[in-house]
A = this chain, B = another copy of it.
Amino acid sequence: MSKDTPIPEIDQLVQRAHEAFLTFKGIDIKRRAAFMHQVADEIEALGPELIRAAQSETNLPEARLAGEKARTVFQWRSYADALSSGNMLDVRIDTADAGRTPPKPDVRKTYVGLGVVAVFGASNFPFAFSTAGGDTASAIAAGCPVIIKTHPGHPETSALMATAIKTAVRKAGLPDGLFAEVRSDGFEGGQHLVSHPLVKAVGFTGSFAGGKALYDLASKRPEPIPVFAEMGSVNPVFLLPNKLEHAAEETAKQYAASLMLGVGQFCTNPGILAAPNHPGLDRFLNTLRSQIIEAAPAPMLHAGIASAYAKKKTELLSQQGVEVLASVAETNTEGHGHAAVATVKASQFLANEQLAHEVFGPFGLLVIYDTADEATAIAEALDGQLTVSVLAEQDDIKNNERLIQALTDKCGRLLLNGFPTGVEVCYAMQHGGPYPATTDNRFTSVGPDAIRRFARPISYQNWPDEFLPNELKDANPLGIWRTVNGALTKEPAPRG
């Protein structure tokens, strides 16, 4: 079904995308936002064939896909609204002062798109982080054309989403180079895209190996370009003593649910839980065990992911000091993910860095610590993470200040008494943590601030009103918040 796009055709698509950029970057935020709502309308209008295609290509259940479709539409709409509110442009105006020595110029700053963006979609979110997903929506919001490298796991789903975007482009009267698909089941097409001189940024969601390879390729180009690779993590959960003692069973149930959600196929899956050797631990472990062994195995996204999961799980379980707590029996269910939880002592965890690696699927490693110092040592030994969760009562927090400070340095999102699966699409979301969770932790890939990845500031010095972009004009015709001479205001900017 999926036929690789020939290299000369990729070159043509990039060239057309670049030409579209020259038009699109000049279109003001209100019209760009209206186009994004049009894309959302077209996605909403896709009929049951979308869910059917995705179900057959990803094994994800219908209800989950329906929710993910709604989330995808919400991403387009909320990013469009953040754009048209002006929030994303962060306009700054410093007006002239001719009387100063030397005379102070009039300087006004806004954001423009970087140029053509190459997006590599994820297998585990065929809607929300693939063809019409968050990277595509945020690049378009920033004023950038997008070339999507279609995920080979769901080509039909991708084609349907691409049609929705293309229909919106046509209806909005925008240049049709604004969005294009490239199919490549191997590496060649994607590498060619990332190496193309007219491609100016890359969005990627997937494995560490894939993201790091693109980062390396992009940083070795004659003109290096930014790569925003979200590469997952083990999302450690730290359970503290009082919480364990008073809520062992409830916490075990919640952890099991988060661990097994979506057959563990989330970049925010909580793969490691550090628990104290303290009253309540047996109750916690017993409850967790019963939750896991009762779980029915479910099909994973595709057979390759299921076999990689089985292999990594086996490797991890064979490490010194790792003991199985609970494991779903491997029945005759090929392609399914069988949940498992194991325990290891903190000292052994700290001595073997392989134990901290991600096992993509419903596998949890419980690291049992004896003292607060040992918990802090675990925290300090961690790689960068998308999220860290703390399960604690008020006294636990007060007794573990150093631990919590150490955890803050390791993640992009710090949760209290919650689990990391379920990433809210909102302004305050930071989905991006220190390396190796992502390649650039100064940005998020979820929420309207994701737009900022694909834009750069530009200052206009001493330009008269008529030649300025609308957001910089004296009268503030877009009615947006602007920082004028250091103060936020919606008032017109005075000419000096």
Which residues on A are within 8 Å of B, measured CB to CB?
Answer: 22, 26, 81-82, 85, 87, 92-94, 102, 104-105, 107-109, 112, 114-115, 215-216, 219, 223-224, 226, 384, 394, 397, 404-405, 408-409, 411-418, 422, 424, 426-430, 432, 434-436, 439-444, 449, 452, 455-464, 467, 481, 483, 486, 488
Contact = CB atoms under 8 A, between A and B. Distances in A.
Contacts of A449: 92, 457
Given A223-B436, A394-B464, A415-B462, 5 more contacts: A107-B424, A226-B442, A408-B458, A413-B460, A417-B462
Interface centre among A226, A436, A459 (most CB of B within 10 A): A459
A428 B93 contact: yes
Nearest to A425: B94
A224 to B, nearest CB: 6
A81 B485 CA distance: 13
Nearest to A91: B428
A467 B226 contact: no
A15 to B, nearest CB: 14
A397 B94 contact: no
Interface centre among A104, A114, A226, A426 (most CB of B within 10 A): A426
Nearest to A23: B405
Contacts of A405: 22, 26
B459 A412 contact: yes
B424 A105 contact: yes
B435 A102 contact: no
Contacts of A223: 384, 435-436
A115 B184 CA distance: 39
Contacts of A429: 94, 107, 109, 459
Closest CB pairs A-B (n = 5): A430-B459, A107-B428, A94-B426, A219-B219, A92-B427
